[in-house]
Structure 1
Amino acid sequence: MTLHQLLPLLTEGPHGSRSAATCHYRCADACFKPMPNTSDNPEFHEVAASALRRRSVLTAAGVGIGALAVAGVNAAPAAAAPAAAGAAPVAARRGGGVATAAFTPVAPNTADRVTVPRGYRSDVVVKWGDRLFKRSPAFDVDNQTPESAALQFGYNNDYVGVLPRGRNRALLVTNHEYTDENLMFPTGRYDSATIKQIAIQSHGMSVVELQRGSRRGSWTQVRPGSAPLNRRITGTTKFAVVGPAAGDPRLRTSADPKGRTVRGTFGNCAGGTTPWGTVLSGEENFNGYFDKSGSLDARYTRSYARYGLTGSGSRGWGEVDPRFDLSKEPHEPFRFGWIVEVDPSDPRSTPRKQTMLGRFKHEGANVAIARNGRAVAYMGDDERGDYIYKFVSRRTYDGRPGRAARRRNLELLTEGTLYVARFTGDGTGDGVYDGTGEWIRLTSDTTSYVPGMSVADVLIDTRLAADTVSPTKMDRPEDIEPNPVNGKVYCALTNNSNRGTSYPTDEANPLAQSRTRSTLGGPLETKSGNRNGYVLEISPAGGDHSATTFGWDLMLVCGDPDAPETYFAGYPKQQVSPISCPDNVAFDSVGNLWISTDGAQLGSHDGLFRVPVSGSQRGHVQQFLTVPTGAETCGPLITDDGHSVFVAVQHPGETDGATFENPSSTWPGTDDFARPAVVVTYQD
């Protein structure tokens, strides 16, 4: 059997720049399938419909992609706004590097490279197949084994965390979200079982020790034999299940009759670094990994349907490991879809799946410490029409140094209260997409607030529980992160091509149609739905992350500045970079928002953008880099000193019809095929 008989060679993508292969391998063709959320809960676009659609500035003349390509804007961003009234004081920060530097924005382009502004350079830090341990074999694409893959940097890096260790060292932590076997393996070189076993080991996470390079802002991998903290977590690594759902009968399998130990993690998308020094990773599109050899367990029909579990997974992992066969192990999928917590400072520690944070298609989780000392984790469920969540811990964060405090902090995510968000438009007709919202309790670690469901029911079937309390359906809520400078929370709502048809509009999800460009510099084409996405800004009441009410506004209605529906927080549209499909967010030392994109609809490759959130430059979107052909911009991370910008370049060369023998990208240029990698950009 050849590779292309084993796995489909897809040649027609659903929309924009995302290829059919990306949709298939990463999210199991979710865009082609009915949305799992069939509840009649309000849509975010319905909320937005209660107000006027846009300020008068939205009709201001903009420039097209071609004009922006030759005229960059160099205004430096203003300092971040102070925290909201009543908020706990935020320490003043001095910006440096890219936080305050002026740069000429990168023009939209389709170059097969990482393109950065003049005066900057970009280096590969670590790439797929690189050795992590002294015993790791050198990467050889013709002679891979499951054992070698488990000792090398994994495939399709996504989340990027960088944890300082002294002055000149750091730990890089990344997720490995999914594999694309058509791009990874030479045709006919491997048999079907070996391909699947290597793929399982190529998922998961990596911890890589870094050292500062010879130039300010540069970083390099520490030689594997001198990096004792390096680690690979794969699809077979042992995880402990913790929190109230641990041990529930639905988490028990023939291999784990106690329901407290899970093998592996996969589909890991974004994540976050906690104040106590661990990394949280979100298990997202886990449903596509399960197949079936017979009928499905009728007890779980409703639950399976809500999570998109049909047994039609095309990876065939059930052929090499029966736990991925729903007909044989109907409980195995309940053991995925969690936030996992990893301690990168201890390579011998057992990573944990945190059941108190709920089970859904987690993009990631990011933690802020509330005024009362409780840890608050913000999370998005990345599916069309699904919800935004937060968790508030029962106990308080201990900021004192020492092992005792850290041990207490490691238990913060096991007890507390899980909430889901409801958005309401202000209905004033003021021309602004904004309003108020509330966090609705779903369960604590001891008490369920959903009638007819136990604590474990709510945590295992969080989507079904949330459906009962009328939260707001969102347009693919992906990365959600609190801004450490102004105390607000920012969420990337990537897109929803069905908004306005299958999903009605509201003030928070307002667009029933949007404009895109099929080619760079081509004409704007009107298409149904929200094609370019939004950036949502949430202001916790009183600046307190533990509050149960909030204000909100759509800071950015993304797209081409020429399109009348776009909005950039009131900033003049003729001076911004086009931005489409926001995915991940990050912040620098002065509180600027950094946005990476996935599946841009405007003819250009995906990229990374800097956006001030306050002052006269609020909404001034400037493109900082673009990624190679077929790639997605993941991460990102800006170091505290502002001298290093990390991004993960995921799935380079993943375009329609591309194969190992016929690649559409050979980035980063070390081989005649593409290799996903983490890069760092710094001033030259």
Structure 2
Amino acid sequence: MSSRPDSGRVIPLPLLPHHSANRSSVTCKYRCGNACAHEAPNTSDNAYFGDIVESVLSRRGALKASGVLALTVGGATALAGTATAATPAPAPLARPRQGNVPGTDYTPVAPNTEDRVVIPEGYEQGIVIRWGDPVLPGAPEFDFNNQTAAAQEKQFGYNNDFAELVPLDGSGKRSLLVVNHEYTTETHMFVGYDENNPTEEQVRIAWAAHGLSVVYVEQQGGRLKPLPSKYNRRITLSTPFELRGPAAGSDYLKTSADPTGTKVLGTQNNCAGSMTPWGTILSGEENFNQYFANADSVTEPTAKKRLARYGLKGTASTRKWERFDKRWDLAKESNEANRFGWIVEIDPHDPNSTPVKHTGLGRFKHETATIKIAEDGRVVAYSGDDERFDYIYKFVSNGKVKQGNSAHARRHNMSLLDDGTLYVAKFSGNSPASEIDGTGKLPSDGHFDGTGEWIPLASGKKSFVPGYTAEEVYIFTRLAADEVGATKMDRPEDIEPNPVNGRIYCALTNNSNRGSTGNAAPDEANPRVGNKHGHILEIDDDAVGTKLRWNLLLVCGDPNDAGTYFGGFDKSQVSPISCPDNVAFDRHGNLWISTDGNALKSNDGLFSVPVDGPERGHVKQFLTVPHGAETCGPVIRDKFVTVCVQHPGELDGASADKPASHWPDGGNSQPRPSVVAVWRKDGGEIGAS
């Protein structure tokens, strides 16, 4: 893109420091393998955005007259239907305030750097579960200084990210809390930890601290109380998984431990996720590359290119797992890395079931996959690839969903993600390239918006990418998407359909390298140079088709910065927001956003924003998490909100020997990643008058 010498869009900038936004270097090191310290793996030269936009402008008048470019304002069926047309949001300050909409009526929390969870006036909070708390029978009480792998296999894992509550009854009083455990930070888990010489027991504790937890909880007012149950389960890096779908059994997936290419132990770096309409959980394997050693020993050109595109490089790994199991050593098991980077599905209703890795949804750094059911009953799964300059994808099933909550219906519906078509998104803007100057200034029509298309990559055993077999498309999806000219995005993370208006919302967290020398220039869907604050993309999608319309709901950052945009709302009345990560919705259709790496120097937090009507774009901060922590996995219910507080106290210079936080237990305690619930003191609905 930006390598075109005649584009006029390259803006030379120095690369920013090796860690992203306000995130500490220790977090970057252990969570993503210092991804920002390296050049982005996407070195493709996809069609420059400005080349596309001029042809769009030539037909813009006709499209606007027909309403094709406008986003739906309301009336969409919940989680169903194709895109409809309506008038786009008006220009900034063009509409009067009408007060808070239901679900957002609370006094916003001010930015702060306190070592606690700060919530609005009139609300209470409580810890649901912490790292090390018992999950399975026989789990000992957590003892930070005397951890064992055997204990951790029965205890709540580390660094909780995604969370969801799967209801067991119509009242919602009884639920299964399902939580991802994204990564381990060994320097904060073990006193006296030696990064160059971890012990085998420390490594095995880390293996057990990854994966997922399933915990039965009962609602008691706003509180959620974990209880012993037949449903409780720990999924770790030793749990057997089944590889399914069109690439299962591929030679690229076979190892000495699994010559069939259909079975793999464990899941790792699980970031966001979702609950399917049939009551299972989807979880995205994200920064798997950092766990593997000796990629540099692979010299065959094609294999080396494939590894590099996924960020697999170097010799020894950070955690040194390869010393204790050869599967983490690419010099010995060259295919093991291909068995990670998938969407995982688990059935929390059956603790004896085998979790699945769905190859049909492609392999990349999945932040998540979320489901929308089309009008014809087919399933549409949306997913973002969380890397600078990577892509947005969707999968459309061939089969149709079966109604009901029976085990038979769940088994059928779990198979839907194994047979369908995988697509990648290409976005076109409505404004002249000259009006996208990299500052975040709105173009003359008052909106960052446009159209787009879903480019097919593969369906079943058929590839649509020249030079790639179908199994190569699924296993090396990034490379296949490069070939078809997908649009390079600013770290697409969580992406979810709104259950009220039917539109799709994607958090683009940041991209400090946008517009720097040798990297892609700003475009209308990613309009800022050195984008350290991120933005929110809104998509009106023809669910099972190949056309879409899009709009930027938010261009995040300091409201006093001219290069920010809050859906057209008066910026003097909004909360500052930076680095959107996870998204969720309340029953009113309001968007809730958690942040990761606040570049405004405040603690991360949880924010609400209406997406329709006069209050569209009115961002309000609902809570902040302790310093060094990230806000993850929001669950929004009528009477309570939960968030996962990940890596509290994970600041540069801190460690288990010198903790920078004592949350949640206070005193001189070590910080512990935890799930927190927040509710109103009077028992009323969240954000209600």
Structure 2 residue 257 is the aligned partner of structure 1 residue 259: no
Instruction: Please give the alpha-carbon distance, in whole angstroms, between the structure 2 residues aligned to 1:433 and 1:578.
Output: 20
What does residue 449 of structure 2 align with? 434
Match of 1:206 among 199, 208, 213: 213
Going from structure 1 to structure 2, the CA distance change for 1:456 and 1:294 (only over 3 Å counts) comes to: closer
- Please, which moves more after superposition, 309-318 or 604-613? 309-318
Instruction: Please give the alpha-carbon distance, in whole angstroms, between the structure 2 residues aligned to 1:85 and 1:683.
Output: 27
Q: 2:144 is paired with a residue of what secondary structure?
A: coil
What does residue 3 of structure 1 align with? none
Structure 2 residue 524 is the aligned partner of structure 1 residue 495: no
What does residue 28 of structure 1 align with? 33
Amino acid at match of 2:204: Q
Shift of 1:410: 1.8
Contact 1:646–1:679, Cα closer than 8 Å, also in 2: yes
Instruction: Please give the alpha-carbon distance, in whole angstroms, between the structure 1 residues aligned to 2:109 and 2:429.
Output: 36
Provide the TM-score with structure 1 as the length reference.
0.87
Shift of 1:44: 6.9
Contact 2:79–2:502, Cα closer than 8 Å, also in 1: no
Going from structure 1 to structure 2, the CA distance change for 1:107 and 1:558 (only over 3 Å counts) comes to: same
Q: Output one character per residue of 1:397-443: Cα deviation in whole Å (capped at 9) or x when no partner.
A: 11145343332212110100000000000136413110000000000
Instruction: Please give the alpha-carbon distance, in whole angstroms, between the structure 2 residues aligned to 1:445 and 1:338.
Output: 16
Q: Output one character per residue of 1:221-243: Cα deviation in whole Å (capped at 9) or x when no partner.
A: 11x3xx11010000111000000
Instruction: Please give the alpha-carbon distance, in whole angstroms, between the structure 2 residues aligned to 1:676 and 1:48.
Output: 45
Q: 2:201 is paired with a residue of what secondary structure?
A: helix
Contact 1:44–1:509, Cα closer than 8 Å, also in 2: no
What does residue 335 of structure 1 align with? 339
Amino acid at match of 1:497: S
What does residue 40 of structure 1 align with? 45
Contact 1:43–1:509, Cα closer than 8 Å, also in 2: no
Going from structure 1 to structure 2, the CA distance change for 1:582 and 1:553 (only over 3 Å counts) comes to: same
Q: 1:553 is paired with a residue of what secondary structure?
A: strand
Alpha-carbon RMSD across the aligned residues, in angstroms, is 2.4
Q: 1:624 is paired with a residue of what secondary structure?
A: strand
What does residue 378 of structure 2 align with? 374
Amino acid at match of 2:424: V
Match of 2:189 among 180, 184, 188: 184
Instruction: Please give the alpha-carbon distance, in whole angstroms, between the structure 2 residues aligned to 1:623 and 1:209.
Output: 30
Structure 2 residue 376 is the aligned partner of structure 1 residue 361: no
Amino acid at match of 1:539: D
Q: Output one character per residue of 1:188-241: Cα deviation in whole Å (capped at 9) or x when no partner.
A: 69952221111111101100110112xx2221111x3xx110100001110000
What does residue 83 of structure 1 align with? 76
Q: Output one character per residue of 1:511-563: Cα deviation in whole Å (capped at 9) or x when no partner.
A: 11xxxxxxxxxxxxxxxx0010000000114xxx2121010011100000000
Q: Output one character per residue of 1:57-93: Cα deviation in whole Å (capped at 9) or x when no partner.
A: xxxxxxxxxxxxxxxxxxxxxxx83229997499xxx
Contact 1:51–1:507, Cα closer than 8 Å, also in 2: no
Amino acid at match of 1:134: P
Structure 2 residue 435 is the aligned partner of structure 1 residue 418: no
Contact 1:241–1:352, Cα closer than 8 Å, also in 2: yes
Contact 1:45–1:511, Cα closer than 8 Å, also in 2: no
What does residue 673 of structure 1 align with? 670
What does residue 86 of structure 2 align with? none
Contact 1:13–1:19, Cα closer than 8 Å, also in 2: no
Amino acid at match of 1:26: R
Instruction: Please give the alpha-carbon distance, in whole angstroms, between the structure 1 residues aligned to 2:225 and 2:623.
Output: 20
What does residue 539 of structure 1 align with? 540
Contact 1:44–1:474, Cα closer than 8 Å, also in 2: no
Contact 2:296–2:314, Cα closer than 8 Å, also in 1: no
Shift of 1:141: 1.2
What does residue 129 of structure 1 align with? 132
Q: Output one character per residue of 1:600-637: Cα deviation in whole Å (capped at 9) or x when no partner.
A: 11111000000000000000000000000100000011
Within 5 A, what are the aligned runs for 1:454-465?
454-465=469-480
Instruction: Please give the alpha-carbon distance, in whole angstroms, between the structure 2 residues aligned to 1:113 and 1:323.
Output: 40
Instruction: Please give the alpha-carbon distance, in whole angstroms, between the structure 1 residues aligned to 2:596 and 2:406.
Output: 40
Match of 2:486 among 471, 488, 496: 471
Question: Which ranges in structure 1 are unaligned for 5 or more consecutive residues?
Answer: 1-11, 53-79, 91-96, 513-528
Contact 2:104–2:609, Cα closer than 8 Å, also in 1: no
Going from structure 1 to structure 2, the CA distance change for 1:89 and 1:20 (only over 3 Å counts) comes to: closer
What does residue 459 of structure 2 align with? 444
Provide the TM-score with structure 2 as the length reference.
0.86
- Please, which moves more after superposition, 13-22 or 443-452? 13-22
Within 5 A, what are the aligned runs for 1:31-430?
31-42=36-47, 81-83=74-76, 88=81, 99-100=102-103, 102-166=105-169, 167=171, 168-187=173-192, 192-213=199-220, 216-222=221-227, 224=228, 227-292=229-294, 295-296=297-298, 298=300, 299-312=302-315, 313-427=317-431, 429-430=444-445
Q: 1:555 is paired with a residue of what secondary structure?
A: strand
Shift of 1:47: 7.5
Shift of 1:176: 0.4
Contact 1:46–1:507, Cα closer than 8 Å, also in 2: no
Amino acid at match of 2:75: P
What does residue 554 of structure 1 align with? 552
Contact 1:475–1:494, Cα closer than 8 Å, also in 2: yes
Going from structure 1 to structure 2, the CA distance change for 1:603 and 1:48 (only over 3 Å counts) comes to: farther
Going from structure 1 to structure 2, the CA distance change for 1:175 and 1:46 (only over 3 Å counts) comes to: farther
Q: 1:333 is paired with a residue of what secondary structure?
A: helix
Which contiguous aligned blocks of 4+ residues in structure 1 show a shift greater than 6 angstroms? 43-52, 84-87
Going from structure 1 to structure 2, the CA distance change for 1:656 and 1:296 (only over 3 Å counts) comes to: same
Contact 1:323–1:329, Cα closer than 8 Å, also in 2: yes
What does residue 583 of structure 1 align with? 581
What does residue 664 of structure 1 align with? 660
What does residue 619 of structure 1 align with? 617
Going from structure 1 to structure 2, the CA distance change for 1:405 and 1:191 (only over 3 Å counts) comes to: closer
Amino acid at match of 1:207: V
- Please, which moves more after superposition, 35-44 or 345-354? 35-44
Shift of 1:129: 0.2
Match of 1:505 among 497, 522, 527: 522
Structure 2 residue 645 is the aligned partner of structure 1 residue 649: yes
Instruction: Please give the alpha-carbon distance, in whole angstroms, between the structure 1 residues aligned to 2:52 and 2:106.
Output: 37
Instruction: Please give the alpha-carbon distance, in whole angstroms, between the structure 2 residues aligned to 1:380 and 1:153.
Output: 27
Instruction: Please give the alpha-carbon distance, in whole angstroms, between the structure 1 residues aligned to 2:663 and 2:474.
Output: 42
Instruction: Please give the alpha-carbon distance, in whole angstroms, between the structure 2 residues aligned to 1:329 and 1:236.
Output: 17
Question: Which ranges in structure 2 are unaligned for 5 or more consecutive residues?
Answer: 1-16, 58-72, 84-99, 433-443, 682-689
What does residue 600 of structure 1 align with? 598
Contact 1:340–1:354, Cα closer than 8 Å, also in 2: yes
Q: 2:217 is paired with a residue of what secondary structure?
A: strand
Q: Output one character per residue of 1:346-387: Cα deviation in whole Å (capped at 9) or x when no partner.
A: 000000100000000000000010111100000000000000
Shift of 1:668: 0.2
Contact 2:463–2:470, Cα closer than 8 Å, also in 1: yes
Contact 1:376–1:390, Cα closer than 8 Å, also in 2: yes
Amino acid at match of 1:652: P
Q: 1:617 is paired with a residue of what secondary structure?
A: coil
Amino acid at match of 2:399: R
Going from structure 1 to structure 2, the CA distance change for 1:98 and 1:109 (only over 3 Å counts) comes to: farther
